[in-house]
Amino acid sequence: MKRKPNLLILGIDSLRADHMSCYGYPRLTTPHMDRFATEGVLFENTFSPHIPTTPGYACMLTGMDCFNTQIVALRHKGGLRPEVRTLPEILKENGYNTATVQYPFRGFDKVLEYSGWGGDPGGKMPKAENLNKVAIPELDRMADAPEPFFLFLRHLDPHTPYLPPAPYERIFYHGNEYDPENKSMEPVMAFKPFCDYFASWLPGPVTDKDYVIAQYDGAVAYMDAAIQSIFTALEAKGILDDTVVVITADHGETLYEHECWFDHHGTYDNVLHVPLIIRYPEKVPAGLRLSGYNQNWDIVPTILELLDIQVSDYQFDGRSLMDMVRGETPHHDTEFYFTECTWMRKHGWRTPEWKLILALEPDFHFKPPVELYNLLDDPEENNNLAEKEPEVVEFLKARMEAHIAQREKATGLPNPIHHQGDWHGHEGIGAFKSSQQAYDTLHIGNPGEAAKLQARKE
């Protein structure tokens, strides 16, 4: 009897799709993943609707939305609902050996850690190399075992701090990052909640925002080169074509847009839009690019179809993307509900034309409580039309509220975005009463604290 395929998921933290060269970015940031994408299918419009890391991975690894997982906050307490089945649990029941590197999600046989946050003697962070030192020996071990394997890798290179080692720190930048005439970093360093954190890892008094963006791109390129070592290891073991390989992200990243400086809060498309690449020659044709809309909860049902595993007694919220691959449907849901509970608490509704964002409490950027963007005319979401288009606001709000009511009825569970308590990590404060209170309360001070706050804790 033929052994079932292996599964490798690269769940890359904070990788925005539009900064990958295979998604049209003009800088050659991902040449190895670009080549890999030509051997499988690339989905151009995949969205992670629940921001940030904790709900993003929960959807990715369960095939469920936030109503079923009941997870929307970065600092979610209480673990995952026992009624929800996880991908590693399902695969373990079907004879798979499972392991995860850097993400201790429920159901994995083995959890490995690596130095994702520690710097080298020069102050740079070789995150991807440190991951490879742990992941490749584990990959070799699992490949030599009689059982098929599921290995999940959480790369951290695109996550702040952006500190790629040489030569990647200057591969996309040739200038003077300390130019006193450049004032682009002044608003960044004046933002009190984050300024101490930025000062703790940005070298010296950096004045040029483009230098910082180049560090993000350099970190992505450095990670891409290290990921090639993973592909090479699969080839060396002779199992590349016998392994379903998935490349995706829990969310994207904000660089200089929307005043959400160098982080991944907010529900603009630079955070919601994530890459999705799947390679498995036996069932996935090479060189396919699909523009159809889908969400990251579709990943689990897709994987189970590729692995030929039936879960007949269980209903996922997502559905297999193989119907799009086979040309049976152009899209999955083109409209969807999204949430964010990182440093702000918001939710909204996105269609191919419109984006509605509603604040559930005042945020520390002093943004208006209602934002409306025409994504066709204004894809970068810079022109808030909420006051000019009140009828569109009400129409989208009604669509969103109908969806929430339907999901609450279907699951018998409340919308979790409304029940987060001290989601911001400050016990006893509750919901912020004003933007000034939020601004004065929230603070990130150094990389160690950022690692503690932003890294997933089970």
Pair type for strands 97-101 and 41-47 = unpaired
pLDDT tens-digit readout, 389-423: 999 999 999 999 999 999 999 999 999 999 998 99
pLDDT at 452 over 60: no
The partner residues of 99 in beta bridges, in order of sequence, read 110, 151
pLDDT tens-digit readout, 293-339: 999 999 999 999 999 999 988 999 999 999 999 999 999 999 999 99
Give the rounded percent of residues in the chain with a pLDDT score beyond 90. Answer: 88
Question: Using CA atoms, how far apart are residues 163 and 211, in angstroms rounded to an integer?
Answer: 11
Give the rounded percent of residues in the chain with a pLDDT score beyond 70. Answer: 96
pLDDT at 312: 82
pLDDT at 457 over 50: no
Angle at 285 between CA 280 and CA 286, to 5 degrees: 90
What H or E segment, with its residue span, contains residue 307?
Answer: none
pLDDT tier at 2, thresholds 50, 70, 90 = confident
pLDDT at 200: 86
Gap between the terminal Cα atoms of the chain: 37
Domains of the chain listed by start with CATH number:
6-333 (3.40.720.10), 338-441 (3.30.1120.10)
DSSP three-state, residue 223: helix
Question: Using CA atoms, how far apart are residues 134 and 112, in angstroms rounded to an integer?
Answer: 7
